[in-house]
Structure 1
């Protein structure tokens, strides 16, 4: 009897916690279609698309979504390519102390994109003349995320037996061919992990573009979302909800695409 009561109590508690997390998400989904910003209205009443119409008329906010895509894709390409090559070199090289180098890079990367490092970062970017450019944002994000991406990918590469690449080279393949034909297909799931992780970090980044960019036509959506606040700092909830939903769509689409393509089966095809 006590066992059944405990199960019922656990189920009730789990249901309560699930509802506590689900209700804000439900409101977030339906609020953009609501003519009034009221917490008590889960189902839009009245249902309207005027919030989206107003958001689409905001040229600054819509351009910001494109800017976010440019910065996110630029950073993802740079991080994915550089991290793959660097992680492969660290994994396969015989350099003494390479493990210590990896951990030192990971340690120092934790402050590269932090607020404490923004002053020297701004001075460096200003000295090379890249302030107010997409390239500055991409490079700074890449500098902060690259060491962690290398650390993640190196674990995937370490799991590949060296004998497979050595067999390919014995058969006449060059080291570059062994990398592209043997190692790269196996670590592709790891690259996907890094790409998704880097995209989400850059897409939601606020401080770096806010400090490095000056022109309104270069600002990303993470900064432009504040245009839906009044001069007194009060959010216009209906418009903010509509723009936040649009802002979330690329991340959701990326999640669905990765789930469809890989099913989150992030493992390689070669086992020792």
Structure 2
């Protein structure tokens, strides 16, 4: 749906953004490794610091403050790249020198293959699960693009707002897996069961609270990101309907994380496939 005006801006941003993806893998894996050791605070501190640095650098590179070149949208991408580079460096340092989780012992080929095989038994289905969401979103955006750029923009704004409000659910899903796995390994099934039940209750409660807030504030929140009336209407409509499902989405997140911690990632993948390819995308085509 991009026209000759917006397409060059997209290319300027994404050509730099794609480079930064290379730097995202180690911090993501490292954060999970740190949480698995029971030290969730340091991984959270690193990630939050990276986000703050990104926000601080953004205006300087976008608008050319303090004599820096005004790079426009590309400046936002460069701010993202620099922040991710520093997060990458700090994560490596913490893993190697603070937690001593990096080993330089040379593995035999057979030992390496055995290790990779055990990791891939979980990581491949988990990767498929994580790919389902972006692929589904891309399909839906392509459908929206057939209507108008305003529809795509409104969906994008609503998705960003949605991302802010479901951060607590993502944070809990990142924590519940290691917690349940650790307690099951220690034969504390009572604690694991209690954690699962409370995570489900929290998800439903938080989802209900967000749905109520956005019901009353959807227009005002959408207007913070754009002044186009059509874009605001699209975003507000999304924020009227979709937040009702946030509670059940949170339960799905928790269940998926728990299945992964139990070494049963295929169950998580199946749930995501049903959600996206059996329900979400077919209903989107039907709605079109």
Using structure 1 for the length normalisation, give the TM-score.
0.31
Q: Using CA pairs below 8 Å that are at least 6 residues apart, which structure has the higher relative contact order?
A: 1
Rg larger for? 1
Structure with more helix by fraction:
2
